[in-house]
Structure 1
């Protein structure tokens, strides 16, 4: 029901057509884009939802007057996850594999007990493992080491709970180089821990069913929009580069939506607000499984660092509400969730960035520390003048992230700070 209502609301807003919003930086215009992104469903790399989002972004860039192209590339692999459940008796819960699942078990069904103890051999049984939530987004060596200790018990599979404060399933970003796990690693939500504990104590068997498929050489694309004014006046370019990731683990509407809304707002302003520079916009894909899209753009398509006036990056979770549990319900405080919300800037423009973002509640990371998310790739490529935002929120990397986790009133001040910083960078 919520999905149908969200899709209907997005359709009504779009029926107004974005030119109806006089100011692309208004909260209403920005939130309309978040709702449209939300309506496409999960946005994993190579999925129909990701392709629909990219096609929509391309249409909006063209409508804003940019020359739009697709930068085609492929990643070596992707797991196309469809559905998974864990059942104990008559009780069933949704679960999700942690990438990368063994190729031979892309689709499988398994019924087995949970090993009675937390150590020793566990052949033909599930092993339970709980990891603390470390507020990170990426699978680390410490996580892998804990899983390897579980694999040493020779289990049939591992039931992994990451102790996320929302109680929801939480997953980590991965890369293309890591080998698949030797047995499936199945993510179980913290809120479903009591079900596992009862099964473990009673010896009652647990059934896990997973449907999915491995793919090799998986096609994807970046969407690139340009206003190359140097072609008309015959001079060397002075470039603004503006980027945002599009793909994500789930629907991820506040992880990705505010950044995409800000990215599109900059495109709609570009023709008239910044007439004296060249602009390139890139909406990247593949972020959650190795940053593939940004790597391809930096290798082929990005302006040279010494010709780039500034690089603005709209990263994750720019403007998300704070949420608290109220009995069995989640209720919003309607205040911004500032946990790990970061303003990022290279040293060369940090004074301007800090002035423009002074009213945005966030932690500044400056200079060498500012290489977070895809800005780490921009920084490594030698761009001296970059800035952006990144962060997490209550439902970051969980299936519960929806358009309800943000709103017009918290989107507008953040995106205006981006536009004003670009004004200053040109001056």
Structure 2
């Protein structure tokens, strides 16, 4: 299938949160696509404790704002938390803050630290992302929930909440949910050859449909896998599409716990991160902890038709997404991560949020770079 057909098929699965129906169906589809590309592919089950949200809202006077509990925070009973609403860090019983969902993309982010240190009995956070709908924060502490109950609400509710918090308005916050056993799966594909392997790594689950957020990376994963299967190569290839990105990278954690050498000793890990080819967001960060690789990837992107100007080629610094897992474990990585005005929003859907020529150019460049690394 061509790139447009890929995105249409990817988008059709709808919400693909780890443990849900869209997750299971899209995992089977991706395994079949990897096999069609010429690899030996299988699903690797991943068990985890899932949070199923319940009643979640804040009321103040005549106002009632519906939301979603933070998946790795505390919960309330039906009686909720009652008290004044004020800015985060104030003496109010319920704290309020607005932020971009990307601010919680890595473990021990500032908001997570604020939750641990908070004296608020509860917190409400308004997420600001296009078009100011409900764009949840990633749950890095899902296995060990921390801090007070947190209610996540749409960014469009921020102006009202700001006024209420500024006036110390009385409010009630309810954030309920239950936890239970769930299953997802990593998709693992292999091509034979000499070791240590080249590892293609991309996350495959997300809060909603997340077509531009996740689809571009998965397209590049498949295009590279197909190119590697068809071209002469010396090196073995492992392609891992991991589950649970939104829940603290649980699929990557399980995979690297079972095979530590995959992260630590692979010849190179090519991390295909978020937002590769998102509309209205041309910036692309290419980062590596190996001297010269980011610049070589930049040249491959330009040769494939990507404009040079928006490419930020960096050696060193802090790796993002699942590349962070590789960096922590001492592995060699090359990472591609873009930007997304609809980040974590349910409106991230095909075709509106995808820049098809850029997504195609990125996939072709990754394939060319991967072939070079596998020779």
- So what's the TM-score if we normalise by structure 1? 0.73
- Say which SS state the counterpart of residue 169 (structure 1) adopts: coil
Q: Flag the structure with larger Rg.
A: 1
What is the correspondence of 1:180-329 to structure 2 with a 5 Å cutoff? 180-181=145-146, 183-196=148-161, 212-216=177-181, 218-228=182-192, 230=193, 236-237=194-195, 239-301=197-259, 308-322=266-280
The alignment of Structure 1 onto Structure 2 pairs a total of residues equal to: 366
In 2, distance between residues paired with 1:56 and 1:141? 34
CA contact (8 A) 2:81 2:172 kept: yes
CA contact (8 A) 1:111 1:208 kept: yes
What is the CA distance between 1:295 and its match in structure 2?
2.5
What is the CA distance between 1:408 and its match in structure 2?
1.8
| Structure-2 residue corresponding to 1:393 | 340
Pairing partner for 1:100 from 45, 60, 72: 72
In 2, distance between residues paired with 1:182 and 1:189? 21
In 2, distance between residues paired with 1:379 and 1:112? 43
Q: How large is the RMSD of aligned CA atoms in angstroms?
A: 3.4
| Structure-2 residue corresponding to 1:6 | none
| Structure-2 residue corresponding to 1:115 | 85
What is the CA distance between 1:259 and its match in structure 2?
0.6
- So what's the TM-score if we normalise by structure 2? 0.82
In 2, distance between residues paired with 1:204 and 1:284? 44
Question: Does 2:364 align with 1:420?
Answer: no
What is the correspondence of 1:28-177 to structure 2 with a 5 Å cutoff? 29-75=2-48, 77-81=49-53, 84=56, 93-102=65-74, 105=77, 108=78, 110=80, 114-115=84-85, 119-120=90-91, 122=93, 127-133=94-100, 135-136=102-103, 137-138=105-106, 140-147=108-115, 151-153=118-120, 155=121, 157-164=122-129, 166-176=131-141
CA contact (8 A) 2:75 2:149 kept: no
| Structure-2 residue corresponding to 1:362 | 311
What is the CA distance between 1:58 and its match in structure 2?
0.9
CA contact (8 A) 1:345 1:353 kept: no
In 2, distance between residues paired with 1:413 and 1:201? 48
CA contact (8 A) 1:309 1:426 kept: no
In 1, distance between residues paired with 2:91 and 2:331? 51
Q: 1:88 to 1:33 in 2, by over 3 A?
A: farther
In 2, distance between residues paired with 1:399 and 1:171? 10
Pairing partner for 1:345 from 274, 288, 296: 288
Runs of 5+ consecutive residues of structure 2 not aligned to the other structure? none
In 1, distance between residues paired with 2:3 and 2:21? 23
What is the CA distance between 1:247 and its match in structure 2?
1.3
- Say which SS state the counterpart of residue 206 (structure 2) adopts: coil
Q: 1:400 to 1:90 in 2, by over 3 A?
A: farther
Q: 1:128 to 1:308 in 2, by over 3 A?
A: closer
Runs of 5+ consecutive residues of structure 1 not aligned to the other structure? 1-17, 19-28, 231-235, 323-335
In 1, distance between residues paired with 2:331 and 2:113? 35
